[in-house]
């Protein structure tokens, strides 16, 4: 596919100094010496959706052979610009989901699929974000693990990670997949705010942002608060003290953020062009597309390397005005979860709705793949080639948790591409281990179970 030339670093250099500059500077611009020492710039993008449709509706549309060939409402994934750049992994068992004991057939699966750790009711410790006092101990979801691990390796990006999405309805608090130290983390549902967040960092990266003056008082205030938090920590039990570490870390991080603003940011010279229309997206459907475009730019600019997005909620689809999703939802008058259980309206409308939702999800995923593939990497290939794009759902079909849905895009050279991979009973944890391996972390266990990575025959 033709690349959109305006986004490339080469184009930036051409604008600055013409072809001479390109020839002279290109070898030095992409990766600094320090970056080169850290290896290739790899990224992880998690897209999480709730409640897969009934097996009888979904299965006929998924691949049956060895190649990733889709039918019916999943055909957006057959787009030539996408084909060969994604794989569907099936047959992985979400043991953490089946070992969880919260919220019927859903909450535990959702919490477990990206943490590999069961959610257990009554744990009021670090996991208290999860509704009803359930928690996943100190477990991180894979996106949070990767973001922290890179920070620990000294890769200090303007944004450690980005989270986007909607979560309409209290009931779905049980089902959010992103966990930081076992606590559910929030996400940004506002395209404008998300856009501003990235744009601000992009300006800092380029060194072109107008910096506020005399804002050091903010750091001073936070310095006072930091001391105060530390004093309180000393009075607490060890367990409560650890809980307050979240607060401490957050204040420290905000203080660093303010300091960075005051100093005028970095200045790596990477092109970051954000179309202002992204920030003005109206409606959920457009907003999700805008999220995708903004994230692609953020990856290209190296503003962040980890992104997680989710959308769910009982009322979520009522105002998604694409593929008749909103109008069908309103017509049926029920909530999505009930509709997947065949509740409300008539069967034809219910089935049309869940199929159209599948189509929208597939379209969003395909669009992500295409967006990332627009950006050339200076070392060859595209940003997509250096990214593991991971779409997962808390149930593959019906209430089954022994056949998790894992769609992998890009693959970072680690996963098979263009394939329908049947993993035959391995644990979801193995997928999480392999994702960590793919982006450069040599681990053998993720979550509660000793799964190891996926077997070699399932990988590139």
Partner 1 sequence: MNYWFKLGRLSNAALTVFIIFLVSACTGDTNTSSTSSSSSSSSSSSGQGNNVLVGNESEAIMKSGRQSWQGACEDCHGADGQGGVGYPKPLNLSRFALREDMVTYIYQQMPPGEGDQPKLGCDLQCANDTADFIIAGLPVDPDSLPLTCNGNIEEHANPPIRLLTSSQFRELVERVYSKVNVEVSPQIANAKVFQDVKVAGFKNNAGVTLDGNNIKDMFGLAMDIGQQVANKFSSLMSCDAGQESCVRQYINEYGGQLFRREPSLEHTDELVLLHKKNSGPEGIAHVTAAMILSPNLLYTFEEDVLVRTPLKPRELAARMAFLLWNTTPDAALLAAADSGVLNTVSGIEAKAEEMLRDDRAFDGLRSFYDSYVALDPDFEYKGSNANWQHCGDEFGQCNFQGEKRVRYGINDKWNERTLSNGTPCSNQVFGDPSPGTNKVCEIFIGINDGVSHALTAAQASDELTRFVSDLTLRSEGSFEDLMMSPKAFVDETTAKIYAVENGQLSGAPEYQGGKQVLLDSSKRAGIITRIAFVLHGGGDRVGLSSPTLRGEHLLKTMFCQSPPPAPGDVEFPDVPDDPNLTWVDVIKQFHLVDDDNNPDTPNPCIECHLTFDPLGFAFENYAFNGEYVSQYLGGQMVDASGEVHPIKNDPKDIDGSSFNDAIELSEIIAKSDDAATCFSNQWLTYAVARDIAENSGDQCAAEELAREFKSSGYTLKELLIALVKSPSFRFRNPEVDAQ
Q: How far is the CB of 391 from partner 1 (least distance, A)?
A: 21
Calculate the CA dihedral of residues 198, 308, 362, 64 and round it to 10 degrees.
Answer: 150
d(Cα 128, Cα 216) in Å, to the nearest integer? 35
Shortest spacing between CB 26 and partner 1, in angstroms: 36
Residue 309's beta-bridge partner residues?
A: 47, 164
- Pick 285 or 298: Cβ nearer partner 1: 285
Question: How would you class 77 by CB atoms within 10 Å of its CB: exposed for 0-12, middle for 13-18, buried for 19 or more?
Answer: buried
Instruction: Report, in Å, the least distance between residue 433 CB and partner 1.
Output: 22
Distance of closest approach, residue 39 Cβ to partner 1, in angstroms: 26
Nearer to partner 1, 35 or 257 (CB): 257
DSSP sequence for 38-63: T-S--EEEEEEE--PPPHHHHGGGS-
Measuring CA to CA, how many Å separate 221 from each of 209, 231, 232, 255, 423? 24, 16, 17, 9, 53
Alpha-carbon span 155 to 44, nearest angstrom: 15
CA torsion, ordered 156, 273, 165, 410, to nearest 10 deg: -70
Shortest CB 115 distance to partner 1, Å:
17
Cβ-based nearer residue to partner 1, 180 or 451: 180
Q: What is the chain's percent helix, strand, coil content, to nearest 5? A: 50, 15, 40
381 HSE (CA, 13 A, CB side): 14
Q: Nearer to partner 1 by C-beta: 21 or 244? A: 244
Q: How many residues does the chain have?
A: 460
Min dist CB 418 to partner 1, Å, is 29
Q: How many helices (H) and strands (E) does the chain have?
A: 15, 9
Q: What is the closest distance, in whole angstroms, from the C-beta atom of residue 178 to partner 1 in the complex?
A: 10
Q: Rounded to an integer, what distance in angstroms lies between the CA atom of residue 51 and that of residue 365?
A: 16
Q: How far is the CB of 78 from partner 1 (least distance, A)?
A: 26
Q: Least separation, in Å, of the C-beta of 238 and partner 1?
A: 4
Helix (H) or strand (E) holding 390, with range, is: strand 387-393
Q: What are 90's strand-pairing partners? A: 422
Among residues 13 and 111, whose Cβ is nearest to partner 1?
111
Question: In terms of CB distance, is 4 or 253 closer to partner 1?
Answer: 253
Burial 385-417 (b: 16+ CB within 10 A, else e): bbbbbbbbbbbbbbebbebbbbbbbbbbebbbb
Distances from the Cα of 149 to the Cα of 89, 131, 227, 306, angstroms: 25, 27, 27, 11
Closer CB to partner 1, 121 or 203, in the complex: 121
Minimum Å gap between C-beta 334 and partner 1 is 6
Contact 23, 284 (CB under 8 A): no
Residue 28 or 186: which CB sits closer to partner 1? Answer: 186
User: At its nearest, how many Å lie between partner 1 and the CB of residue 98?
Assistant: 5
Kindly tell me which of 43 and 95 has the beta carbon lying closer to partner 1.
95
Select 43 or 121, whichever has its Cβ closest to partner 1: 121
Choice between 81 and 124, CB closer to partner 1: 124
Read off the tokens for 168. Answer: 């309409």
């Amino acid at each position: 596919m033709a690349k959109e030339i305006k986004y490339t670093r080469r184009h930036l250099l051409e604008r600055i100094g013409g072809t001479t500059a390109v020839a002279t500077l290109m070898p030095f611009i992409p990766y600094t010496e320090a970056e080169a020492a850290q290896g290739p710039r790899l990224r992880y993008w998690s897209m999480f959706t709730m409640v897969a449709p009934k097996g009888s509706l979904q299965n006929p549309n998924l691949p049956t052979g060895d190649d990733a060939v889709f039918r019916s409402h999943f055909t957006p994934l057959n787009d030539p610009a996408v084909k060969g750049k994604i794989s569907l992994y099936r047959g992985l068992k979400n043991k953490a989901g089946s070992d969880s004991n919260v919220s019927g057939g859903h909450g535990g699966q959702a919490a477990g699929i990206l943490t590999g750790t069961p959610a257990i009711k009554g744990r009021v410790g670090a996991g208290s974000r999860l509704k009803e006092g359930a928690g996943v101990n100190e477990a991180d979801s894979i996106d949070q693990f990767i973001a922290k691990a890179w920070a620990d390796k000294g890769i200090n990006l303007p944004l450690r990670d980005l989270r986007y999405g909607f979560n309409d309805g209290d009931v779905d608090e049980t089902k959010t997949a992103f966990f930081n130290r076992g606590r559910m983390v929030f996400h940004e549902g506002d395209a404008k705010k998300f856009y501003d967040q990235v744009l601000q960092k992009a300006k800092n990266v380029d060194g072109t942002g107008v910096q506020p003056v005399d804002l050091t008082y903010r750091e001073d205030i936070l310095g006072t608060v930091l001391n105060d938090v530390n004093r309180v920590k000393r009075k607490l039990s060890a367990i409560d003290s650890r809980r307050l570490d979240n607060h401490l870390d957050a204040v420290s991080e905000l203080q660093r953020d303010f300091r960075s603003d005051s100093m005028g940011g970095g200045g790596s010279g990477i092109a970051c062009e954000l179309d202002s229309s992204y920030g003005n997206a109206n409606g959920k459907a457009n907003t999700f597309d805008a999220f995708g475009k903004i994230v692609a730019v953020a990856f290209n600019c190296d503003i962040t390397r980890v992104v997680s997005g989710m959308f769910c909620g009982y009322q979520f689809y009522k105002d998604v005005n694409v593929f008749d999703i909103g109008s069908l939802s309103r017509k049926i008058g029920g909530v999505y979860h009930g509709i997947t259980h065949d509740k409300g309206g008539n069967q034809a409308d219910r089935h049309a709705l869940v199929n159209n939702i599948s189509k929208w999800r597939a379209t969003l995923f395909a669009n992500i793949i295409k967006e990332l593939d627009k950006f050339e990497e200076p070392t060859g290939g595209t940003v997509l080639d250096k990214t593991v794009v991971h779409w997962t759902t808390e149930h593959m079909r019906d209430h089954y948790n022994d056949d998790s849905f894992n769609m992998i895009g890009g693959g970072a050279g680690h996963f098979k591409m263009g394939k329908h991979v049947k993993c035959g009973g391995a644990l979801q944890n193995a997928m999480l281990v392999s994702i960590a391996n793919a982006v450069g972390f040599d681990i053998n266990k993720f979550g509660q179970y000793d799964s190891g990575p996926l077997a070699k025959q399932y990988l590139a």
